[in-house]
């Protein structure tokens, strides 16, 4: 299990590949890996966005992310999880978050991956400030969309 924040650019697919190669405990036992990568778009709420700052609450972030993964592991038979969230200054197309879940079977991997993303959105202490053509704005809420 690896959970944390990254202060520098994420290469999500390389991270997952490397993690799976170096963590062989569940090799041969997993049949399913569901993953999700969130990426910064160049528009939001109908406006062009040229940059974003991701602020977080150090310490509380790690604690909440670990809680979220523990909840998913309690509810679904999963074998391993990789979860990394960016903080700092981002540009459009930069990855924001990656989660990968290994499980023996498909359904548990999908369900746990989605649950982690949902809980993260509502409980992990991150805040986004977008840079627009004119000035900046705090993202006020995450819709369920």
Binding partner of residue 13 among another protein, a second copy, none, CB cut-off 5 to 8 Å per kind: a second copy
Asked whether the beta carbons of 77 and 108 are under 8 A apart, the reply is: yes
Binding-site size for a second copy (CB under 8 A) equals 36
Q: Are 88 and 94 in contact (CB under 8 A)?
A: no
Q: Burial code of 75-88, b = ≥16 C-beta within 10 A, e = fewer?
A: ebebbbbbbbbbbe
- What phi and psi values does residue 124 have, to the nearest 5 degrees? -80, 130
Q: Closer to a second copy at the Cβ: 49 or 87?
A: 49
Give me the least distance between CB of 102 and a second copy, in Å please: 9
Strand, coil or helix: what is 40? coil
Q: Which stretch binds a second copy (CB under 8 A): 2-10, 57-65, 109-117, 122-130?
A: 109-117
Instruction: Using CB under 8 A, list all residues that contact a second copy.
Output: 11, 13-14, 16-17, 20, 27-43, 92-93, 104-107, 109-110, 113-114, 117, 144-145
């Amino acid at each position: 299990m690896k959970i944390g924040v990254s202060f520098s650019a994420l290469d999500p697919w390389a991270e997952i590949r490397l993690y799976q190669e170096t963590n062989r405990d569940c090799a041969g036992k997993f049949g399913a890996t569901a993953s999700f990568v969130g990426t910064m778009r160049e528009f939001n709420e109908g406006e062009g966005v040229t940059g974003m700052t991701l602020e977080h609450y150090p310490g509380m972030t790690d604690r909440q992310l670990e809680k979220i993964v523990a909840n998913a592991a309690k509810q679904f038979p999963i074998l391993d999880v990789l979860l990394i969230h960016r903080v700092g200054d981002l540009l459009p197309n930069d990855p924001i978050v990656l989660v990968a879940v290994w499980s023996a079977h498909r359904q548990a991997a999908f369900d746990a991956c989605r649950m982690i993303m949902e809980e993260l959105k509502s409980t992990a202490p991150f805040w986004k400030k977008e840079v627009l053509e004119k000035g900046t704005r705090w993202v006020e809420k995450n819709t369920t969309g």
